[in-house]
A and B are shown apart, each in its own frame.
Chain A
Amino acid sequence: MIDVQSKTDYGVTLSRFLKRYMMELILSLIVVVLIVTAPGFFTLRNILNIFRNVAITGVISFGMTMVIIGGEIDLSVGSSIALSAVITASVTGWLSQAGIMPMESAVFVGMICALVAGFLIGLSNGLIRTRFNIPTFIISLAMLYVVYGFSAIISRGFPVTTLPLWYNWIGAGRFFNLIPVPALWLLLAFILVYVIMNMTKLGREVYAVGGNEEAARLSGINVKAVKITIMVFVQVLAACSGIILSAQVMSGSSTFGRGYELEVIAAVIIGGVSLFGGIGKVWGTMIGIVFLGVINNGMTLFGVDDFQKYVVRGLLILFAVMLNTVQLESLGKTRKKDATAQ
């Protein structure tokens, strides 16, 4: 940001700082309150557990960040978690029971199949979007059912548990007996998406397409390719989440991931990404993910019952989004004022 003000106005600088880091400040505030009031919150293990708990939805949230900045949405990711988990476990089971290879290595084939399935779901979402110009809201809503159906058909409605022991490490392992492995996947997804969105051509194109599709098209940007890519990307990440979840509980079931799509979208929106596309930061999504995780953890520590948790979580999401909307609007205004003052 180029400083255009001839003399530093501390009031303006402070208010701009507050607006810019609003969610970070609120999150810190909540953390401080929990440190003081919640027994057992501020232990290394608990903090790390928060990251483990948000990993499943968090990994997808980063993909969803790209999708929403690109002006689209994907509601089918929850079902994709289930399908991915079921495929991994089932393929492992078939291969090992048919004696083709031992379970320990068969699970790799299972995982690859799950990733391919995610790729194909994303590809069809993207192709239908670009070919027939149907909103992804509708496409992915329909796909949510289709994918759920497939996961139930493949698993015949029962949990599939044919998974090798080592596989548990992916979802429940700890480095040095401390750092949860899923937290690492979360970090990797963050880094990957951060790099794509901030340092690659694709990232620039996603912002452009989400910011103004027609202007992007008339700039010679391949809008269709960009849309298909982000729709595929989020689905592959959803498949990864399915693998992590199945490894955590050592089974694959069609009941996995139900409603997770909303949790994923909530994290992205709390993080300040505009549902209209074009605006948002990957770092913001990280804040959104942690925000939801901390709230959940705090309520668990206080022994809030599950039904009440829903109410609190819903209200907090609403509150966060309201704050962000105000913030986005006023950010636009102050910037504009600065520029015209010259």
Chain B
Amino acid sequence: MSVLNARNITKIFPGTVALDNVSMSFYSGKVNALVGKNGSGKSTLVKIINGAHDATNGSTDIDGREFRYTNPRQAFDDGIATVYQEMSLIPGLSVAENILVGRYRMNGPFVDWKNTFKDAAQLLETLGISLPLKELVTNLSVWQCQVVEIAKAMSVQPKVILLDEPTSALAQNETKLLFKLIRELTRKDVIIIYISHRLQELWEIADTASVLRDGKHVGTIEMEHATHKELLNLMFGNVEVKQRPADVIPDEKAVFEVKDLTREPAFRNISFALKKGEILGIAGMLGSGRTELLRAIFGADKLDSGVIKVNGQTIRSPDPVMMKRNGVAFIPEDRKNQGLIQILSIRSNLNHASLGRITRGLFVDASREKELALKQIEELSIKIPGDEYLMTSLSGGNQQKVVLGKWLNTEPQVLLFDELSRGIDVNAKQQIFQILWQLARQGLSSVVVSSELEELLEICNRVIIMRLGEFVDEVDPDRLTVEELYAECMGGSES
């Protein structure tokens, strides 16, 4: 049996302490879960173990032998393999080629395919996996890719294998199969570190769970004896949810309504009505269909069925052009790539959604274009040296504001906001909250999706809970704690 120790790890990024004197041990033959909410520092710790980051302070060792890698490749060669959630496979190569990529058996200058395939077959056999070796990865399902990733990691006979949210893109039955495979790995004297924020699965797969909160190691529990309440307590501590201002109260009048929206397999039979000036939150775990729902309402993806009612009009197959015309705005999760055009100036980015409003007759009114850009820069206090600079010169929070500003220039009635605070710091987050409340007072209705549930409790008038593509409950944020909301989102048994 071997053990990986992290001793007194501190990691300081400019402005934040990501890890604060963290000491943890992970044992072979067990599934060691590493949990914590977003931003708790779990991915930073993973990156320090696998060499992607360098710790500011502290040391790591396996069975007393210290190690410190400067890049993941070096760590991989030395037996610390990471399976990332974003796949690192080459789609145009076969399963066997992907598993052994860069380490083919050679025969002089040529690849010895016969023995390479034999190696791959042998490896899969010892792992108890059956996969067509010659199949191209592009033809595999997400779950099969995940398995190939794990096989690839196992092919170097690693001492440590880090699984970073391996189930986030999997369906339930696939998750079961993956767990079986992971269980199989525990017999192989390898230290398995399992990172997840799907708490309910920890009871199925993990032996222990080490919990990080705000960069600190707050405890390690044996899953066998742990209760939901215990784990949630560790993760969240006593969170105090800040109150939204008392004057953010919606009208009674509904301005926007969706009925029986379905897009298989992401979500089905979703209905809700949005009141004027209301901020509606949609809470759910990753994979619950919340992002897909928002995209489909805006027409970014197609709906299978259902109707949207806005402005007294009934829309069956929405598309972005039509939804914009009807006063709907959409801020996508991936702001950098889907919300903004990085190579263009801040001014043009602020006007992309509202080109109709700056056009007079045949021509664009350049002074009005500038005026609208400066208006948003001022009102959202976007920190930039000038509106002619490229988007790339802005920080995450400011980029976020530009996307918001772009849509406010269309004078929308309904704002669909995906992953409200993704990629922005605490101050920017508070500013965005203030802006949303101010807009709500002026009558703008919003639908907000966030993986940070406490933030939904803070800003929303009402929260709908989504699980596996369905609405399961509607709650009043004033009467619920974060832990309760978490439990609702995870669903399932109270053990």
Residue of B389, B392, B394, B410 with highest tally of chain A CB at under 10 A? B389
Complex partner residue of A218 from B300, B344, B362, B394, CB under 8 angstroms: B300
Are B385 and A342 interface neighbours, CB within 8 A?
yes
Complex partner residue of A332 from B348, B392, B394, CB under 8 angstroms: B392
Are B390 and A332 interface neighbours, CB within 8 A?
yes
In whole angstroms, how far apart are the Cα atoms of A224 and B489 in the complex?
39
Q: Does B332 contact A (CB under 8 A)?
A: yes
Complex partner residue of A4 from B359, B362, B385, B406, CB under 8 angstroms: B385
Are A219 and B393 interface neighbours, CB within 8 A?
no
Are A221 and B352 interface neighbours, CB within 8 A?
yes
Question: What 0/1 pattern do residues 264 to 296 of A give for CB contact below 8 A with B?
Answer: 000000000000001100000000000000000
In whole angstroms, how far apart are the Cα atoms of A211 and B348 in the complex?
11
CB distance from B19 to the nearest CB of A (A): 27
Give the interface segment out of B113-121, B163-171, B252-260, B320-328. B320-328
In whole angstroms, how far apart are the Cα atoms of A340 and B332 in the complex?
25
Q: Does A311 contact B (CB under 8 A)?
A: no
Q: Does A205 contact B (CB under 8 A)?
A: yes
A201-B359 in contact given A208-B344, A212-B341 (Cβ < 8 Å): yes
In whole angstroms, how far apart are the Cα atoms of A4 and B325 in the complex?
37
Complex partner residue of A220 from B348, B353, B362, B388, CB under 8 angstroms: B353
Q: Does A119 contact B (CB under 8 A)?
A: no
Q: Does A104 contact B (CB under 8 A)?
A: no
Complex partner residue of B386 from A4, A211, A221, A279, CB under 8 angstroms: A4
Q: Does B337 contact A (CB under 8 A)?
A: yes
Are B342 and A336 interface neighbours, CB within 8 A?
no
A336-B344 in contact given A2-B388, A201-B364, A216-B352 (Cβ < 8 Å): no
CB distance from B339 to the nearest CB of A (A): 6
Are B340 and A220 interface neighbours, CB within 8 A?
no
Specify which chain B residues have a CB less than 8 angstroms from the CB of A4 in the assembled complex: 385-386
Are B337 and A335 interface neighbours, CB within 8 A?
no
In whole angstroms, how far apart are the Cα atoms of A221 and B298 in the complex?
13
Q: Does B343 contact A (CB under 8 A)?
A: yes
Q: Does B387 contact A (CB under 8 A)?
A: yes
Are A340 and B340 interface neighbours, CB within 8 A?
no
Q: Does A217 contact B (CB under 8 A)?
A: yes
In whole angstroms, how far apart are the Cα atoms of A215 and B338 in the complex?
4
CB distance from B475 to the nearest CB of A (A): 30
A212-B342 in contact given A199-B364, A201-B356, A220-B353 (Cβ < 8 Å): yes
Question: What 0/1 pattern do residues 183 to 194 of A give for CB contact below 8 A with B?
Answer: 000000000000
A214-B338 in contact given A2-B387, A200-B362, A336-B393 (Cβ < 8 Å): yes
Q: Does B13 contact A (CB under 8 A)?
A: no
Question: What 0/1 pattern do residues 83 to 125 of B give for CB contact below 8 A with A?
Answer: 0000000000000000000000000000000000000000000
A219-B352 in contact given A199-B364, A211-B343, A339-B389 (Cβ < 8 Å): yes
Are B343 and A219 interface neighbours, CB within 8 A?
no
Q: Does B60 contact A (CB under 8 A)?
A: no
Specify which chain B residues have a CB less than 8 angstroms from the CB of A212 in the assembled complex: 337-338, 340-343
Question: What 0/1 pattern do residues 202 to 216 of A give for CB contact below 8 A with B?
Answer: 011101100110111
Q: Does A165 contact B (CB under 8 A)?
A: no
Residue of B nearest to A220 (CB): B324
A208-B352 in contact given A199-B363, A220-B323 (Cβ < 8 Å): yes
Are B321 and A220 interface neighbours, CB within 8 A?
yes
Q: Does B155 contact A (CB under 8 A)?
A: no
Specify which chain B residues have a CB less than 8 angstroms from the CB of A200 in the assembled complex: 359, 362-364
CB distance from B422 to the nearest CB of A (A): 16
CB distance from B317 to the nearest CB of A (A): 15
CB distance from A266 to the nearest CB of B (A): 23
Q: Does B355 contact A (CB under 8 A)?
A: yes
Q: Does A222 contact B (CB under 8 A)?
A: yes
Specify which chain A residues have a CB less than 8 angstroms from the CB of B348 in the assembled complex: 204, 207-208
CB distance from B365 to the nearest CB of A (A): 9
Are B321 and A204 interface neighbours, CB within 8 A?
no
CB distance from A209 to the nearest CB of B (A): 9
Are B330 and A211 interface neighbours, CB within 8 A?
no
Residue of A nearest to B393 (CB): A339
Complex partner residue of A211 from B324, B344, B359, CB under 8 angstroms: B344
In whole angstroms, how far apart are the Cα atoms of A201 and B342 in the complex?
19
CB distance from B299 to the nearest CB of A (A): 9
**Residues of chain A in range 54-94 having any CB-CB distance to chain B below 8 Å:** none
Specify which chain B residues have a CB less than 8 angstroms from the CB of A336 in the assembled complex: 390, 392-393
In whole angstroms, how far apart are the Cα atoms of A2 and B339 in the complex?
25
Specify which chain B residues have a CB less than 8 angstroms from the CB of A204 in the assembled complex: 348, 351-352, 355, 364
Specify which chain A residues have a CB less than 8 angstroms from the CB of B355 in the assembled complex: 201, 204-205, 221
Specify which chain B residues have a CB less than 8 angstroms from the CB of A211 in the assembled complex: 341-344
Are B390 and A222 interface neighbours, CB within 8 A?
no
Complex partner residue of B341 from A2, A203, A278, A342, CB under 8 angstroms: A278
In whole angstroms, how far apart are the Cα atoms of A215 and B399 in the complex?
13
Specify which chain A residues have a CB less than 8 angstroms from the CB of B344 in the assembled complex: 207-208, 211, 278
In whole angstroms, how far apart are the Cα atoms of A212 and B339 in the complex?
9
A218-B330 in contact given A201-B364, A204-B348, A212-B342 (Cβ < 8 Å): yes
Residue of B nearest to A336 (CB): B393
In whole angstroms, how far apart are the Cα atoms of A231 and B471 in the complex?
45
CB distance from B362 to the nearest CB of A (A): 6
Residue of B nearest to A337 (CB): B393
A217-B300 in contact given A201-B364, A332-B390 (Cβ < 8 Å): yes
Residue of A1, A203, A211 with highest tally of chain B CB at under 10 A? A211
Q: Does B384 contact A (CB under 8 A)?
A: yes
Complex partner residue of A216 from B341, B359, B386, B387, CB under 8 angstroms: B341
CB distance from B12 to the nearest CB of A (A): 21
Residue of A nearest to B406 (CB): A219
Ordered nearest first, which 8 A-B pairs have the shortest CB separation?
Answer: A220-B324, A339-B393, A2-B386, A211-B341, A4-B385, A212-B341, A219-B352, A219-B353
Q: Apart from A220-B320, A221-B320, what are 20 other A-B pairs with CB-CB below 8 Å?
A: A200-B359, A200-B364, A201-B355, A201-B358, A201-B364, A204-B352, A208-B341, A208-B348, A211-B344, A214-B337, A216-B341, A217-B320, A218-B339, A220-B324, A220-B353, A221-B352, A278-B341, A278-B343, A339-B389, A342-B384
Query: Would you mind naming 6 contact pairs between A and B with Cβ atoms under 8 Å apart?
Result: A4-B386, A201-B364, A212-B340, A220-B410, A335-B393, A339-B393
Q: Which B residues contact A (CB, under 8 angstroms)? A: 298, 300, 320-321, 323-325, 330, 332, 337-344, 348, 351-353, 355-356, 358-359, 362-364, 366, 384-390, 392-394, 406, 410
Q: Which A residues contact B (CB, under 8 angstroms)? A: 1-2, 4, 199-201, 203-205, 207-208, 211-212, 214-222, 278-279, 332, 335-336, 338-340, 342
